[in-house]
Amino acid sequence: MLRILSFLPLRILYVFSDFFFFIGYYLIRYRHQVIRNNLVQSFPGKSNAEIKKISKDFYAHLCDYVFETIKLITISGEELNQRMKFRNTEQLDRFVEKKIPIIGLSSHNFNWEWVLVSANANMAIKWDFVYMPITSNSLDQFLLNVRSRFGGYPIKRMDLGRELIRRKGVFRGIAILGDQFPGHQNDKYFWKTFLHQSTVFNGAVNQLPFTTQYPVIMFNCHRKKRGYYEVTFDIIGEPPHDKNFSALDIYAEKLEGLIQSNPSNWLWSHKRWKEVD
């Protein structure tokens, strides 16, 4: 069913998105309180009207995300290249020319699924991705299938250490959602003030640069208009890395700036600041 749906042009899929937006925002009010609490705590200086506007825009972007991700089942690399533009790629050229593997920190900025798949379709380096399996087997398999299009290889978070040893020196990028809540029982916690709140990140991200001695870059996804995005790159750090290098400190500061520039484009519906054990 989803595959058949994915053959529809995006302009038709966005009609479905508008319908689901109306249902989710006005009737079901999907995670309304979670979204509002996250926004109020993250932007203490914004008025109620501003918070409401961000929330409403976020709902619209979230619904677009769902149908854009369905479209990934069959979308061509050419269409993705038209809709997802990668800027300042010269930041990566010197690593690519020398075939140096790269650690790429992404974030839950819409549409992060398109960032990964489009990068594999159109960039000179293939990007494998670190993921946490989710409880719904069917949804988990769907996401693995679309993320693996154009050559991406899935790496379970709990297998990352073994995988790094196995693939030492292999010329491929490793893409990680750096803002993901640390969910695996072996994840180490890294605390950082982020969006005016004490926030926990996955401390393993800070270990990777020292362990691998790979350069670390950041994907910054900007929503230009409906169905069109732009990605810019920042260099987080270059080897040699010592044990005190904190990629997460730099990443969190840059991500906060990215979110503040377009608040409705980040994933506010998850319980990012829930209590940790």
Give pLDDT tens digits for 135-187: 899 999 999 999 999 999 999 998 998 898 888 889 999 999 999 998 766 67
The pLDDT of residue 277: 60
Closest CA to 121 of 149, 94, 146, 95: 149
Q: Is 271 part of any domain?
A: no
Looking at the structure, tell me whether residues 117 and 248 fall in a common domain.
yes
Q: Choose the final residue of a domain: 70, 94, 124.
A: 70
pTM as predicted? 0.95
Residue 158: give the domain boundaries. 77-263
Q: Is 168 part of any domain?
A: yes
Q: Which amino acid is at 171?
A: F
Give pLDDT tens digits for 9-29: 999 999 999 999 999 999 999
The pLDDT of residue 185: 62
Give pLDDT tens digits for 91-140: 999 999 999 999 999 999 999 999 999 999 999 999 999 999 988 999 99
Looking at the structure, tell me whether residues 213 and 87 fall in a common domain.
yes
CB contact set of 49 (below 8 Å; sequence gap of 6+): none
pLDDT over threshold 80, residue 235: yes
Looking at the structure, tell me whether residues 213 and 233 fall in a common domain.
yes
The better pLDDT of the pair 246, 168 is held by 246
Query: How many other C-beta atoms can be found within 10 angstroms of the C-beta atom of residue 36?
Result: 16
Looking at the structure, tell me whether residues 84 and 187 fall in a common domain.
yes
106, 176 Cβ separation under 8 angstroms:
yes
Lowest mean pLDDT among 156-165, 197-206, 209-218: 156-165
Looking at the structure, tell me whether residues 101 and 170 fall in a common domain.
yes
Angle 26-226-35 from CA coordinates, rounded to 5°: 40
pLDDT over threshold 70, residue 276: no
Looking at the structure, tell me whether residues 222 and 167 fall in a common domain.
yes
